[in-house]
Amino acid sequence: MPDMQQSRDTRNIAIDQVGIKNIRYPIVVLDKHNEQQHTVAWVNMYVDLPEQFKGTHMSRFIEVLNLYHGEISIENMEAILVEIKSRLGASRAHLELDFPYFIKKQAPVSGAQSLLEYQCRMIGTMGDDFNFSLEVKVPVTSLCPCSKEISDRGAHNQRSNVTVHITYSGHVWLEDLIQWIEECASCPVYSLLKREDEKAVTEQAYDNPMFVEDMVRAVTEKLRSVERINWFKIQCENFESIHNHSAYAMVEGQNNWSVDKSVDKVDNCQQE
């Protein structure tokens, strides 16, 4: 049968990314406390397409997914990308996995346990080298320092989303990254709270007021202290309770640990 995708295109325009988008597929995620967590991801898979070819073979992306059925995880992402490149004759491959991840949380006073959902993303690219990054969106509570300062009674607070995107060396547990972020907010968010818990989290937020700027700076300080993290992008959006707009802040940075350590070594030698 004719292979139209491999027929000649004469417009001399290479395509950076072409493939399939928003297919639902089961994946496996490492769980710090339970070894593995099975979830369902929205999957995007792309390759580059040289200028001389009319199209790519979309069915081959699905073939790769089926080949790794039950084994799609961060451990296999590099192998999956290699397979995509090979099957589609591409020089670059790209894979995105957007998925919900659930962590069991314990209410601060009653100890009531419940699951809280976090939206996560794993992104892998393969050209000459394999590159991987991790993103997580964490819901938190923020309480306005200005409102607390100027008000005789109470202060307005709201739910916020802190989105952190990182590259790293070694391994970073989702549970650890989420905890670091939650510790930088006025108060964490829970799916189940009894009355005594609601009192506790309300008072915790009141005692720990945070502007959107405070939260991205606090997360920045935390991530700068983690040597495994190489690069980060931190975004915070406050869904304001007394305005019809959101407040937003972003910080992007890089940890130059190897540079810092070499400088420290030279300084120590000079002192000796």
pLDDT in tens, 208-232: 999 999 999 999 999 999 999 999 9
- Residue 258: is its pLDDT beyond 60? no
Q: Any idea which residue has 């307005």 for tokens?
A: 156
Distance of CA 11 to the CA centre of its chain: 38
Confidence of residue 182 (pLDDT cuts 50, 70, 90): very high
How large is the greatest C-alpha to C-alpha distance in the chain, in angstroms? 79
- Residue 272: is its pLDDT beyond 60? no
Confidence of residue 256 (pLDDT cuts 50, 70, 90): confident
Closest CA to 40 of 12, 61, 65, 14: 65
Same fold for the domain at 1-91 and the one at 107-272? Answer: yes
- Residue 158: is its pLDDT beyond 80? yes
Tell me what the mean pLDDT of segment 182-201 comes to: 97
- Has domain 1-91 been given CATH number 3.10.270.10? yes
Give the pLDDT of residue 7.
58
pTM, full prediction:
0.89
Give the whole-angstrom CA distance, residue 236 versus residue 160: 7
- Residue 271: is its pLDDT beyond 90? no
- Percent of the chain at pLDDT above 90? 84
Confidence of residue 52 (pLDDT cuts 50, 70, 90): confident
Which residues share a beta bridge with 80?
none
Give the pLDDT of residue 261.
47
- Residue 257: is its pLDDT beyond 70? no
| Architecture of the domain defined by 107-272 | Roll (3.10)
CA distances from 193 to 154, 175, 190, 198 (A): 21, 20, 7, 6
Confidence of residue 98 (pLDDT cuts 50, 70, 90): very high
Confidence of residue 113 (pLDDT cuts 50, 70, 90): very high
Instruction: Calculate helix-pair angle for 212-224, 174-182, nearest 10 degrees.
Output: 140
Give the pLDDT of residue 1.
61
- Residue 2: is its pLDDT beyond 70? no
Mean model confidence pLDDT for the chain: 91
Domain range list for the chain: 1-91, 107-272
- Residue 244: is its pLDDT beyond 70? yes
- Residue 111: is its pLDDT beyond 90? yes
Give the whole-angstrom CA distance, residue 75 versus residue 127: 18
Looking at the chain, list the stretches that DSSP marks H as alpha helix, in order from N- to C-terminal side: 58-67, 77-88, 145-150, 174-182, 195-207, 212-224, 257-271
- Percent of the chain at pLDDT above 70? 90
